[in-house]
Amino acid sequence: MSVIITGKDSLRKLRKLLVSKFKHSKVFVLTDNNTSKQCLPVFKKHIGVLPFTEIKIKSGEQNKTLATCEIIWKALLNKNADRNTLLINLGGGTVCDIGGFAASVYKRGIAFVNIPTTLLAMTDAAIGGKTGVDFLHFKNMIGSFTQPHATVIHREFLTTLPPRHLNSGKAEILKHALIADQSLWNLIEKDFNVTEEVLKKSITVKTKITEKDFKEANYRKLLNFGHTIGHAIESYYLQNELDILHGEAVAAGIFIESCLSFKNNKLSLNEIVAIGDCVFKHFPPPHVPSLKYLEKFLLADKKNVSGKVNFTFAEQNRRSFY
């Protein structure tokens, strides 16, 4: 059973769980070079004197590899980590994805806790039980569906996050609002602040959808809204050695796929105007010469079946579906 702990005293609640309930033989904390500097002191401040060993890896998607897992496994083995060991992943989606996967197979699986430190990880990557690493330049090729023992959401970490990364995470909140929660959309439409309430609602959408469909047979596909076009834009940028963050591409994808939803009578004209206003206000427009350039990337999408590109539509009347 995986718990999500939120609120100002979330780390203190984790401390209580570690002392009174989890009782692991050893605790390791996985960081990257940024979260080691920016987030570990905050973690220590709240967790107190609880003994743990830090395992530090290099930051960035280019290090989300099996080679990095080997570094983690070696560090665990060197300290005689047994099956009753706990790995705490303190970082963004990259650290949570690698740490979750490394834990899920070390000695056939040890417990792990996610403490996401980016907005994208708090609202998306650290929730839902997908773990994994990239392989031969293919994203998330090797991985597992494994739930963490707990996920701890502590907004204080966001204060050191570079503003561009903070903004990028907002795209997933916008997606959650548009696919499943009208009240969240009402909250962010005019004033897009990442309040405790906004974050909680967004996390609830991801949790409910992934609980309903853990292994992505049906409902979970809703979470792909904005991502078919978004991934094509990301691939276009990657191939042209241009810089774009995931959320920046997804925001553009959300707008374009909202237009497709409108064309398929799933959204009203007023709605796509409002979605467009929100996207253009908060996210930089990506530079793609024309949609024609995205075609080859759309045709290579993992979600395609029999050569057909699959889109997920946002439907206005589905926004209270759980």
| DSSP characters over 251-268 | HHHHHHHHHHHHHTTSS-
Q: Does residue 244 bind ligand NAD (CB under 6 A)?
A: no
Residue 128 contacts ligand NAD per CB under 6 A:
yes
Instruction: Rank residues 187 and 249 by Cβ distance to ligand NAD and give the closer one.
Output: 249
Residue with Cβ nearer ligand NAD (94 or 261): 94
Annotate each residue in 21-50 with x if it binds ligand NAD (CB under 6 A) or - if it does not, as one string.
-----------x-xx--xx-----------
What are the backbone dihedrals phi and psi of residue 71, each rounded to the nearest 5 degrees, phi first?
Answer: -60, -45
319 belongs to the binding site for ligand NAD (CB under 6 A): no
Element (H, E) at 56: strand 53-57
**Which residues from 185-214 bind ligand NAD, rule CB under 6 A?**
none
Closest to 176 in 3D by CA, of 216, 207, 151: 207
Which of 31/272 has CB closer to ligand NAD? Answer: 31
> Measured between alpha carbons, how far is 264 from 259 in angstroms, rounded to an integer?
9
DSSP label of 288: -
Q: Determine how many CB atoms are found less than 10 A away from the CB of residue 160.
A: 13
Catalytic amino acids? 108, 130, 172, 206, 216, 220, 224, 227, 231, 246
Cα distance between residue 231 and residue 253, in whole Å = 8
Whether 318 contacts 179, CB under 8 Å? yes
The nearest distance, CB 31 to ligand NAD, in angstroms, is: 9
* Of residues 151-190, those binding ligand NAD (CB under 6 A): 157, 160-161, 165
Of residues 57-116, those binding ligand NAD (CB under 6 A): 59-61, 64, 91-95, 97
Total residue count of the chain as it appears in this document: 322
Q: What is the DSSP letter of 219?
A: G
Range 4-23, binding ligand NAD (CB under 6 A): none
**Minimum CB separation from ligand NAD for residue 272, in Å?**
25
Q: Which two tokens stand for residue 120?
A: 């994208």
Structure tokens at 269: 């004209």
Q: Is 226 in the site for ligand NAD (CB under 6 A)?
A: no
Strands annotated E in the chain: 3-5, 27-32, 53-57, 86-91, 111-116, 130-135, 138-145, 150-152
Total of chain residues touching ligand NAD, rule CB under 6 A: 29
- Whose Cβ is closer to ligand NAD: residue 39's or residue 174's? 39
Phi, psi (degrees; rounded to nearest 5) at 27: -125, 130
CB of 311 to ligand NAD, least distance (A): 19
Q: Which helix (H) or strand (E) holds 132?
A: strand 130-135
Per CB under 6 A, residues contacting ligand NAD are: 32, 34-35, 38-39, 59-61, 64, 91-95, 97, 117-118, 120-121, 124-125, 128, 130, 139-140, 157, 160-161, 165
